[in-house]
Amino acid sequence: MATHTQLLYHFVFSTKHREPTIVLDHKKRLFAYIHQLLTNKNCHLYRINGIEDHLHILTHVHPTISISSLIKDIKLAADDFIKREDIFPKFKGWQDGYGAFSESYPAKDRLINYIKNQEEHHGKFHFWMNISHF
């Protein structure tokens, strides 16, 4: 029998000291890099987005990968990419910690839209108020 899983996770993590260092003009390059990293780890990215001080990722996680090691790998690789490509000159790293929320598969479309509309959403609500919704 083959293994079948629906391990859908919503990850949130922020820049060091929540400084607004992610330049919106270049964030798609970072997102493409993270997408490739997840693909290489046999994860399926459904949506990634963020604003100047934090990112949201909705992804299926391969059952052989631990959440903590995946987040660590994403942060380390993204940090290296940002510094190597010099796309966010004021970026000083990622803040310690992260949010990881297991999500039901039927909630996927709602979460994709939530993550897709981050810029609009954060014009109305504060980041930590949003975390309480999960």
What are the chain's domains?
8-131 (3.30.70.1290)
Closest CA to 16 of 92, 121, 124: 92
Per-residue pLDDT tens over the stretch 74-124: 999 999 999 999 999 999 999 999 999 999 999 999 999 999 988 776 554
CA dist 121 and 50 (Å) reads 10
Looking at residue 134, its pLDDT comes to 45
Looking at residue 107, its pLDDT comes to 94
Give the residue-averaged pLDDT of 56-76: 97
Is the model's pLDDT at 3 over the cut of 90?
A: no
Percentage of the residues of the chain whose pLDDT score is greater than 90: 79
Q: How many Cβ atoms from other residues are within 10 Å of residue 45's Cβ?
A: 16
Output the CA torsion 80→83→88→92 (10° steps).
80
Give the residue-averaged pLDDT of 119-130: 54
CA dist 27 and 23 (Å) reads 6
Looking at residue 122, its pLDDT comes to 59
* Structure token pair of residue 18: 């929540």
